[in-house]
Amino acid sequence: MAHDKKSLEAIRRNPRNVALRDFEALIKRYGYIEEGAKHPKAIIGTRTMPCKRESPVKSCYVKELLEIIEEQEA
């Protein structure tokens, strides 16, 4: 669990340089990835977020994911 918190804090500190594997691991920790049409969708709780699979992940996707996670934790 400590490793999970450290990786989440590292992503929060630097959302502009997140590897695809770290981004997807974060999604899988809080929800799941639904494969589908053009882009996969991150589903966390009741929220759905489409995202592109490219490394490094664009910061707008990372920031949106962090907002969703903060909503779930509150």
pLDDT tens track, the chain, 74 positions: 567 778 889 999 999 999 999 999 999 999 999 998 788 999 999 999 999 889 899 999 999 999 999 988 87
At 20 the pLDDT is: 93
At 8 the pLDDT is: 87
At 27 the pLDDT is: 94
Total tally of structural domains belonging to the chain: 1
Burial letters 31-53, b for 16+ CB under 10 A, else e: beeeeeeeebbbbbeeeebebee
At 1 the pLDDT is: 52
pTM over the 0.75 mark: yes
Tokens of residue 64, six digits: 């949106």
- Structural domain of 12: 2-73
